[in-house]
Every structure is written in structure tokens, then in C-alpha cells.
């Protein structure tokens, strides 16, 4: 399917001079590091609403108590948070002995590694010139490095997703095994990352359309499933539920929030969710009346803030909360279906922009950041449209896989309340497409060939059989998805 050979087999030779000089590359990576460092310092003390539980679970692992909270007879197995990020905290804590400071420092390094992986992916798929644009764009895109300074799972997820796509373009027969392995590991960090294995497999099968491609697609899904299998077995032993995700998924709270999000302002929802404050808009909406009735039915204090399962003290109350909150959310949807669907449609775009900023950020900066997020999203969408239409050679599989991943994040999350942080793992892929649009659109408007466009791009190596290579043919029919395509000369590398 995709070529196996030298590193630059997927890179357009027309872009050989497009890479920035070494000093400029060093300066751009230094700028990434400076932005991340500044945001880490600014975000001190680096905590979110999830940090306390992550740290407690990490301590339990470090002390040998198992994955849960409590000790001895009071030990309660964890059924909500996945173990990947607490294990990461535990390992960093054991290695650096520096608490949360060591965790955010390690996340800063993972962020830089993620940028490098995404840059290499962009170069391999779109060419060196687009890769240089990507580095410049990502250096001023603040939404991703912002999470370096928060003890939350976004940066670890970002690293694993970009590592998977980096592996996808490697010239090794084991790349599909590596992709499945990395995505399987990401399933221990965030439950919505494991289905990326299916997304990548779908892209491989659609582009390949032959038995070999089907085998490669199956390999990705099988390896990812094999990696996550021990966690599903553990959940079955601990809770009697065989699932590779969390036993308490938390979708009930998020779905209920989404039904009210369509009726209330973002400010009111954030003030309630983050600080427990009830303003006049919230008090008059009916949300608090519904919440108090649900909490009494669950068996917790009536004013318990329901935005997270953390509010419910034990596993039994979490089970009840998940069931009752989900049922209440569906009742709300039936009462006002069009308001919910309208909010969901808007959410497909809003997820890729940070819709709420801390109040200490000046309003002009908040507006500037929102404009930056909106521009990056618009360029990313344009880049997806251009790349899917124009890239018709050995790189097409990677393009389709990345594009489908962005669609998966949007469609998988838009039904719930806006959590822009959940798209952070895919933001660098979005910037890769935005960089392609920035490079391609001016040339498209002038009627010039775009970088990486078409199967006839000089220097793009399609897989051609050894017979064609020995014959010295300059036009051949590639194997796999583009069998029989002869539109223009192509170099035939016997890879």
C-alpha cells in the first residue's frame, strides 16, 4: 500500500529547499519552549478539578496499594479515571522527587516532542515547505502549550496521538503494529483515543481496497485491542463489567450539561461548574430544581454540584448518578430537541476553539486568542478539503487517516457539553492541515501547482514493481489503491 523505503519516500522532492536553515529551526523550537515555559509559570499551582484525584491515584500506585483509593479494608478500586496518567505521575514522581513541578516539567518536554513528531509527519506527508510553515504556526498557537502547565492528561494524550501518526509514515513493515501499540496505550489515558485505531484502519482499508490493505487495517485494530485487553479483564474482575474504558463513564453528567448548555450562557455554566456559583440566570432556568431532585434520588446532599462524578463519594452513588443523570438528559432533549441539536451543531466547531478563559486574562487577549483559534480552524478545514482532493499518491492514506481523525473528534464529542481540552490531542494535526492550506491557497489562486498535489508531483515515489523499475520506465501503474493510474510521469523507486 504505502511505500516502504527511505525516509523521504513520502516527501515531495520539489520541497527539498523548503526546509528552514538549521538556525531558524533551532530558533522556532526555542520559541515553542519559551511559550510553554511561560505558560507553565503562569499556570502555577498547575491544578484543575481533576488533579487531586489523579495525584491520589498516583500515590496509591507508588505505595503499592493498587489502583484505587484508600488502604487495607478501606481500599476502593477506581472505576472512573483510567490508569495511564496516574501511572505517568507516579513514574515522574519516583524519578524526579519533585511533585507536581516535575510533572509539568515533563509535560513541557512531551509537548516539544509532540511538536517534533507532528512536524516530521507534516514534512513526510505534505513536504518540507509545509513543515516549515507548521513550525511557525504552532509556535504562536497558545492552546496546546497552555496545558503543559496543568496536571491533566491532555499533553500525554497529545504525545501518544502524534507518535501514532508519526509511526504511520515510517518506512518499516512493522508500522501498523507500532500504530496499534501506541493507540492501545493511549486508551489507558483517555477512553476516546482507543477508537482512533478503527479510524486509522478505516483509512487504510478505504485507500488500499485490496486484501493486503485489509490485513494491515486488521493489524492496527487487533494490536490496539490486545494492548487494552488487560484493563478490560481488570474491570471485569473488580466490577463485573468487561469494558476497555472506565466503568463509570461520566457521559451522564456531560450529556445533562449539554442539554442546559443550549439554554444558558457559557459564563453561567462555567461559574457553576468550576466554582459552584449560582447566578440569576442559572437560578431562574430550572437547572437547580432539577439538580436538587436528582441529588435526593441519588442519595447525596441536594446542592451537590453534578458536573463531575467526583462529587459522588462512592462507587454505588456513581452508578446511580450515571444512570439517573443520563435519563434526565434524555428527558431534557425530548422537551427541547431543536435547541439541543442546534447547540450540538455549533459544538462541532466550538470544540476546536477555547470558549472560556480565566478571568485574569485581559479581555483583548481573550478575543485575540479566540480569533486565532477560529482562524486556525478555518484554515484546517480548508486544508483538509484541499489535501483530500489533491493528494493522490503514496501519501494519501496518511492524509485520509488524519482527516478522519479530526472528523471523529468532532462527531464523537459534539453531543456532550463543550470541553475544548478533549480536542487538544488532535490540534497539531489540525495545524498540519492549516499549514497545507496556507501554502496551497495562494498558489491555487494564482493557478500554480500546489505542494504535494496530484500523483504527478515530481519526486513523489509511488510503489512500482521491480519490473517497471528495471525497465527504467518513467510512467507506471502503482500497486494498491492507484493501480492503473497513469496520469503523468512518476519516478519508479524499487523500494
**457: in domain:** no
The answer to whether residue 2 is domain-embedded is no
Angle between helices 154-168 and 84-96 (to 10 degrees): 100
Question: Is pLDDT of 32 > 70?
Answer: yes
φ and ψ at 85, to 5 degrees?
A: -75, -40
- What pLDDT, in 10s, does the model give residues 288-321? 899 999 999 999 998 888 778 888 888 888 889 9
Q: Does residue 420 sit in the same domain as residue 468?
A: no
pLDDT value of residue 448: 62
Grouping H, G, I as helix, E, B as strand and the rest as coil, residue 269 is: helix
Query: Does the pLDDT at position 266 exceed 80?
Result: no
For 467, the grid coordinates are: 519490473
Would the pLDDT of 239 be above 80? yes
392 shares a domain with 326: no
Query: Which position has the grid cell 504505502?
Result: 2
**Quick one: 320 and 334 in the same domain?**
yes
Regarding whether 194 and 140 lie in a shared domain, the answer is yes
Question: Is 456 part of any domain?
Answer: no
Most confident of the ranges 87-96, 261-270, 368-377, 428-437: 428-437
Q: With respect to residue 383, please indicate whether it lies within any of the assigned structural domains.
A: yes
Residue whose C-alpha cell is 517534533: 116
User: Quick check: 483 pLDDT over 80?
Assistant: no
Q: Is 64 helix (H, G, I), strand (E, B) or coil?
A: coil
Cell of 416: 456532550
Domain coverage including residue 338: 251-345
Last-in-domain residue among 312, 345, 378: 345
Cell of 208: 488500499
Number of domains in the chain: 3
pLDDT at 170 over 60: yes
Q: pLDDT for 306-360, tens place per residue?
A: 778 888 888 888 889 999 999 999 999 999 999 999 999 999 998 998 655 666 7
- How far is 320 from 296, CA to CA, in rounded Å? 11
Phi/psi of residue 52, nearest 5 degrees: -60, -45
256 in the same domain as 238: no
168/290 same-domain check = no
CA–CA separation, 477 and 389 (whole Å): 20
Same-domain check for residues 260 and 129? no
* pLDDT, position 490: 33
- Residue that terminates a domain, selected from 293, 316, 345: 345
Check residue 453 and give its pLDDT.
58
Banded pLDDT at 36 (limits 50, 70, 90) = very high
Helices (H), 187-210: 196-208
Largest CA distance in the chain: 80
Classified as helix, coil or strand, 493 is strand
Q: Determine, yes or no, domain membership for 123.
A: yes
Q: Taking the CB of residue 366, how many other CB atoms lie within 10 A of it?
A: 15
Whether 451 is covered by a domain: the verdict is no
CB 417 within 8 A of CB 254: yes
85 assigned to some structural domain: yes
Q: What distance in Å separates the CA atoms of residue 58 and residue 55, rounded to the nearest whole number? A: 5
Are 388 and 403 in contact by the 8 Å Cβ rule? The answer is yes
Do both 181 and 284 map to the same domain? Answer: no
Q: Can you give the pLDDT at residue 222?
A: 97
Is 398 domain-assigned?
Answer: yes
Is 146 found in the same domain as 19?
A: yes
Q: CB count, 10 Å around CB of 184?
A: 26
Q: Are residues 103 and 182 in the same domain?
A: yes
- Residue 181 near residue 188 (C-beta atoms within 8 A): no
- Look up the pTM and report it: 0.86
319-324-327 Cα angle (round to 5) = 130
* Per-residue pLDDT tens digits for 129-152: 999 999 999 999 999 999 999 999
User: 265 with 186, same domain?
Assistant: no
- Domain co-membership, 64 together with 204: yes
Provide mean pLDDT across the span 278-286. 85
Give the separation between CA 392 and CA 384, rounded to whole angstroms. 14
pLDDT score, position 427: 97
**423: which 3 cell numbers?**
480536542
For residue 495, give the C-alpha cell: 523500494
Amino acid at each position: 500500500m504505502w511505500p516502504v523505503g527511505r525516509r523521504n519516500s513520502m516527501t515531495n522532492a520539489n520541497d527539498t529547499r523548503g526546509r528552514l536553515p538549521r538556525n531558524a529551526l533551532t530558533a522556532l523550537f526555542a520559541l515553542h519552549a519559551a511559550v510553554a515555559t511561560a505558560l507553565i509559570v503562569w499556570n502555577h499551582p498547575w491544578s484543575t478539578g481533576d488533579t487531586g484525584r489523579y495525584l491520589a491515584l498516583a500515590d496509591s500506585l507508588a505505595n503499592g496499594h493498587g489502583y484505587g483509593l484508600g488502604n487495607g479494608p478501606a481500599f476502593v478500586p477506581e472505576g472512573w479515571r483510567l490508569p495511564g496518567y496516574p501511572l505517568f505521575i507516579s513514574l515522574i514522581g519516583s524519578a524526579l522527587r519533585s511533585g507536581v513541578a516535575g510533572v509539568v516539567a515533563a509535560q513541557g518536554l512531551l509537548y516539544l516532542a509532540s511538536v517534533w513528531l507532528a512536524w516530521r509527519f507534516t514534512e513526510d506527508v505534505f513536504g518540507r515547505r509545509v513543515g516549515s510553515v507548521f513550525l511557525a504556526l504552532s509556535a504562536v498557537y497558545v492552546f496546546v502549550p497552555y496545558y503543559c502547565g496543568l496536571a491533566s492528561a491532555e499533553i500525554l494524550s497529545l504525545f501518544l496521538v502524534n507518535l501514532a501518526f508519526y509511526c504511520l509514515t515510517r518506512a518499516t513493515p512493522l508500522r501498523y503494529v507500532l500504530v496499534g501499540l501506541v493507540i492501545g496505550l493511549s486508551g489507558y489515558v483517555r477512553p476516546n483515543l482507543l477508537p482512533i485505531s478503527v479510524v486509522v484502519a478505516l483509512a487504510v482499508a478505504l485507500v488500499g481496497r485490496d486484501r493486503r490493505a485489509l490485513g494491515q487495517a486488521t493489524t492496527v485494530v487487533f494490536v490496539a485491542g490486545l494492548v487494552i485487553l488487560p484493563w478490560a479483564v481488570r474491570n471485569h474482575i473488580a466490577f463485573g463489567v468487561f469494558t476497555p474504558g472506565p466503568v463509570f463513564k461520566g457521559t451522564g453528567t456531560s450529556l445533562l450539561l449539554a442539554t442546559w448548555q443550549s439554554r444558558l450562557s457559557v459564563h453561567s455554566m462555567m461559574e457553576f461548574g468550576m466554582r459552584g456559583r449560582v447566578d440569576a440566570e442559572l437560578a431562574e432556568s430550572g437547572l437547580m430544581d432539577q439538580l436538587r431532585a436528582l441529588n435526593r434520588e441519588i442519595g447525596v446532599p441536594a446542592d451537590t454540584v453534578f458536573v463531575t462524578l467526583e462529587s459522588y463519594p462512592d462507587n454505588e452513588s456513581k452508578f446511580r448518578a450515571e444512570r439517573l443523570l443520563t435519563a434526565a438528559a434524555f428527558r431534557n432533549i425530548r422537551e427541547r430537541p431543536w435547541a439541543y441539536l442546534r447547540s450540538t451543531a455549533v459544538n462541532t466547531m466550538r470544540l476546536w476553539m477555547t470558549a472560556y478563559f480565566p478571568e485574569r486574562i485581559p479581555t483583548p487577549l481573550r478575543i485575540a486568542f479566540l480569533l486565532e483559534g477560529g482562524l486556525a480552524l478555518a484554515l484546517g478545514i480548508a486544508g483538509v478539503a484541499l489535501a483530500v482532493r489533491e493528494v493522490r499518491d503514496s501519501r494519501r492514506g496518511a492524509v485520509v487517516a488524519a482527516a478522519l481523525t479530526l472528523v471523529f473528534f468532532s462527531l464523537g464529542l459534539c453531543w456532550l457539553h463543550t470541553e475544548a481540552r478533549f480536542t487538544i490531542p488532535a490540534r497539531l494535526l489540525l495545524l498540519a492541515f492549516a499549514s497545507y492550506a496556507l501554502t496551497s491557497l495562494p498558489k491555487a489562486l494564482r493557478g500554480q501547482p500546489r505542494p504535494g498535489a496530484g500523483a504527478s508531483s515530481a519526486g513523489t515515489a509511488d510503489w512500482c514493481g521491480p519490473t517497471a523499475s528495471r525497465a527504467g520506465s518513467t510512467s507506471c501503474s502503482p500497486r494498491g489503491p492507484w493501480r492503473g493510474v497513469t496520469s503523468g510521469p512518476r519516478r519508479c523507486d524499487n523500494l
